Structure 1
Amino acid sequence: MIAPQPLPLRDIHQPPAPPWWPPAPGWWWLAAAVLVLLGFAIWWWLRARRRRAAFVRLFDAGVAAAATPPGRVAAMSELLRRAARRHQPGAERLHGEAWLAFLDGNADAPEGRRPFSDGPGRALLDAGFRREVDDDVAAALLPLARRRYLELMGARG
């Protein structure tokens, strides 16, 4: 009897790894989705910036059109009432302390955080109707009114 010959055995060979390029179709879809979302986010951000800039220009032009400090305060009051109507219908009809409380926004704010009821915003009650108003009053009211106008118009930032 003939002895069987030993078989030549070799190690197991793994197939070569798949190449990294070109990626599978799923990766292309994922990249396209990420690019679309990124493009949409940039478009939304630019739109918000342009919108805010347009609101700032509208506010500044309305205030600059008034030649006197009482006229500037009256213009700020008018613009704030328009923005209030857009934000919450019927809010433009508020008067006195209720109007100032609405402009303050959060009713639960501490004393120092009520710039319209307790600060320079009180000029909105009657400064627009006076013959003479100190220019400092209108200048102190301007940044406060602009910021609240932008909040009411929905253009934060």
Structure 2
Amino acid sequence: MKPAELVLRDVHLPAAPAWWPPAPGWWALVGLLGLIALFLFLHQWRRRRRQREWARWFDLAGQAATPAAQVAAMSDLLRRAARRVDPHADRLREEDWLAFLDGGKTAAFSQGDGRLLLDGGYRPQVDAEAVARLRAVARARFLELMAGRR
């Protein structure tokens, strides 16, 4: 055969790859995104479970027999939680303790219902409404301290 008589055919491209099943890299990406989503879900679930457990601890302290005992139990729990943020916070006294509990955000402890923590546990009679107001403020601060927020 002579070179002039050689008949060439057109170039035939192979068929385009199908979109399914995806390439292994896409499977790896989907798996990685799934693991990240699972990690975030478990992290949030664990945080919520711990928050509920801490709130239950605080609520159990509110079941003391007398209002004075409730104030003493709240004070004790706040001091224990404060050690999570600052190891020396449980040694603070009087106004320094209330200022620490305020955290620089509000004056709920140093000028509000939180002042009951100073001597409420030692009084023979404590107003139940004042204890209820203190419980709301102290519970929120307890949960913040247990979460490690100053």
User: Deviation at 1:150?
Assistant: 0.6
Matched to 2:69, the amino acid is G
Identity across the alignment (%): 51
Equivalent of residue 118 in structure 1, options 91, 97, 111: 111
8 Å contact from structure 1 (residues 100, 122) kept in 2: yes
1:17-28 paired onto structure 2 within 5 Å: 17-28=16-27
**Match in the other structure for 1:97:** 95
Residues 1:154 and 1:22: Cα distance change in structure 2 (over 3 Å): same
8 Å contact from structure 1 (residues 120, 141) kept in 2: yes
Equivalent of residue 137 in structure 1, options 126, 130, 134: 130
Distance 1:155 1:42 in 2: 21
User: Deviation at 1:114?
Assistant: 1.3
Distance 2:70 2:131 in 1: 7
Equivalent of residue 80 in structure 2, options 79, 82, 87: 82
1:53-64 paired onto structure 2 within 5 Å: 53-64=52-63
* Aligned residue pairs, count: 145
Distance 1:89 1:61 in 2: 24
User: Deviation at 1:16?
Assistant: 3.1
CA deviation map 1:46-83 (0-9, x unaligned): 1111111111111111221x111111111100100010
**Match in the other structure for 1:152:** 145
Could you say what secondary structure the match of 1:17 adopts? coil
Distance 2:20 2:146 in 1: 50
Q: Which runs of 4+ in 1 moved over 4 A?
A: 7-10, 12-15
Distance 1:124 1:70 in 2: 10
Unaligned runs of 5+ in 2: none
Distance 1:15 1:9 in 2: 15
User: Deviation at 1:86?
Assistant: 2.1
Scaled by the length of structure 1, the TM-score of the pair is 0.84
Unaligned runs of 5+ in 1: none
Distance 1:155 1:54 in 2: 15
Distance 1:9 1:23 in 2: 33
Q: Does 1:67 align with 2:65?
A: yes
8 Å contact from structure 1 (residues 51, 155) kept in 2: no
8 Å contact from structure 2 (residues 79, 90) kept in 1: yes
8 Å contact from structure 1 (residues 62, 75) kept in 2: yes
Could you say what secondary structure the match of 1:118 adopts? coil
